Chains A and B, each alone.
Chain A
Amino acid sequence: MPTELVTAHAPEGSTPPGPERPEDRAAGLRRARVWRRRRSKLWTYTGLIAGSVIVLFPVYVLVVDSLLQPLQLLSDPPAFVPTHPAFHNFSDAIAQYGFGHDLINSAVQTGIIVSAQLVTSVLAAYAFVFLRFPLRRSLFLVVLGTIMIPFEITVAANQTTIVDLHWEGTFLGLTAPFLATGFGIFLMRQAFMQIPRELREAAVIDGYGPMRFLWRIAIPLARPVIAALAVFSFLGAWNQYLWPAIQANYNPGLKTATIGIASLAQSSATVGTYLAASIMSLAPLVLLLILFRKNLIRSLTAGAVK
């Protein structure tokens, strides 16, 4: 403890020695506080800038290198600014390597998964919150149980199922395992439970049936959480890797953007080309982050903070 008192005074080395008058002391403490605040501000900015470098340096490399001419990549010292921006890297990725097709595949796959997950989650959560039926509690535990079984460990058996169903290398096979999500049901259940009971009682008195209540009241009220789930499942579906990689082995025409980037990186394409492809695949996600950051954060922090 005494050491702390000393350090608190330490910056005030300039105060004249000798018997301290109370006013001097108060002024000194105030100055110490201002000094400390300024110093901590400096530290904070140092930390913020260091963090930004860690995050943005790869992004900078991504953008600059996607615009470099093939030979500029090998220059010494390295090219830090694209002096002759090679925009053709973008068109090459699409025209020569069919990356546009991969992007369309990703859009279809993500569209199917997001809309199906929204529908199945909203319907199931609605049943759990507003309807009464036998086995309600146990079925909800079953849903929570799916969260405990990571998809990755079911991959081997799922692949045999898909082959047995002759769905391999089709959009059905690509998306079928992800049409429902335990996390989504959980998230929607939390949202529906926020709806006051009186509202449903009033709706019943007004002659609303359960489906009309769902469409007219429950869904509109839960809209922010539905948006949060949509953003979350968009992100998850668009960035999937393991399952699309397995499916693309059966049908290369089914490559999604992530698999397309991976195969470009392993092909004869130039670095600039596959970095350009990476930027194109990131674009919708950047847009998503800018437009729906609040919703995304809401779904990511569900369960993190009490």
Chain B
Amino acid sequence: MTTASGPGRVAEVAPTTVAKPRRKSRRFSKSKEMGLAYLLLLPALAVFGVFTFFPFVENFNLAAHMKGPYPTSPNPYVGTSHFFQVIKSSIFLDSLRSTAIFVAIAVPLGLFLGLALAVFANQKLRGSAFFQVVFSSTTITSVAVAAVVFETILDPRSGLMQWLGVHTAPGIQLSPGWALYAIAGISAWQFMGFSFIIMIAGLQSLPEEVIEAARMDGASSFRVFWRVIVPLMSPTIFFGGVVGTIVALQSFGAIDIIIGNTNTTFTRTNVLINYIYDLIVYDRQFGTAACVAIALFLITLLVTVAQFRVLERRVHYAN
């Protein structure tokens, strides 16, 4: 009864709508559309203009002017000579070296730990949901929290490291031998959560038959990991590597909190961002800071492009 009434009503209504020849355009009206579009884009573009593109260009302007000795003295135009003077200075080159060491430890370590844990947590075992929450959790910790916790653990008097038999005396601030490595390790710990999240998402999109087939053929788990999972996961590892490197080139909070501003050069933890921060906050040398910022941008660009060219050739895309 009710099912019959449905189509019947449609049949009644249909002729009236079809009868009207008014065939409106299936788009919003054109003149309004353009103005509205620009209006909707305006807030975002204004922010980008003032706080992304203008400072990007302004950096070059700041870099090209030498700051005078007094606030009122003129800032003479020095062109690119200031930039080259800065990047040839020993403090910049030391800073560059520290940054390279920092990135070379934090990123591969974080990627490897994330992938290994993702492989373990991806198996259908009791409790794997719990482990997934645990492993992804380091991504929410702020750099400040991670820094103070690890500082507590590393404390030469009360830290648990002494109890574990690792002696951290005379403390991280006085240990140029390992301060940078320890802070890179802390960053790897934080990065591990993000790495785990993208790795497990990548693993879940892999064809399960391939891994199962390798297992059936009698390959050991170790062999399956290195010969099957790593190659199949290479697009995700590649993405994680690019994002991780960019993030690591910009990480600075742990160094500022644990080492402070006075002895970053001594502890060899004066990475480029730390150098820029000290120049802005303590020395008010905006021109020199801009030079270092330009160098950092070029390095970021170079590393990203290099990763795309070298790694992407070795990345295996399934389809």
Give A contacts to B, CB under 8 Å. Answer: 4-5, 7-8, 40-41, 43-45, 47-48, 51-52, 54-56, 58-59, 61-62, 65, 73-74, 77-78, 119-121, 123-124, 126-128, 130-134, 136, 139, 142-143, 146, 148-161, 176-177, 179-180, 182, 185, 200-201, 204-205, 209-211, 213, 235, 238-239, 241-242, 245-246, 249, 257-259, 261-262, 265-266, 271, 274-275, 278, 281-282, 285-286, 288-290, 293, 297, 300-301, 303-306
Contacts and interface: CB of A to CB of B under 8 A. Distances in A.
B256 interface: yes
B27 A301 contact: no
A238 B142 contact: yes
A128 B38 CA distance: 10
Interface of B: 24-28, 30, 32-34, 36-38, 40-41, 43-48, 50-56, 58-59, 62, 113, 116-117, 119-121, 123, 125, 127-128, 131, 133-153, 155, 157-158, 160, 163, 189, 192-194, 197-198, 201-202, 205, 217-221, 235-236, 239-240, 246, 249-250, 252-253, 256-257, 260, 273, 276-277, 279-281, 286, 289-290, 293-294, 296-297, 300-301, 317
Contacts of A266: 257, 260
Nearest to A123: B40
By secondary structure, the A interface counts as helix
Contacts of A58: 146, 149-150, 153, 189
B41 to A, nearest CB: 5
A304 B198 contact: yes
Given A161-B55, A300-B194, A304-B236, A132 B27 contact: yes
A8 B218 contact: yes
B194 to A, nearest CB: 6
B189 A245 contact: no
Contacts of B293: 152-157
Q: Say what secondary structure dominates the interface of chain B.
A: helix
In the complex, which of the residues B33, B218, B293 has the most CB atoms of chain A within 10 Å of its own CB atom? B218
Contacts of B249: 150
Given A127-B36, A152-B296, 13 more contacts: A74-B157, A120-B47, A132-B27, A177-B52, A180-B44, A205-B24, A246-B277, A257-B142, A258-B253, A289-B136, A305-B198, A305-B202, A305-B236
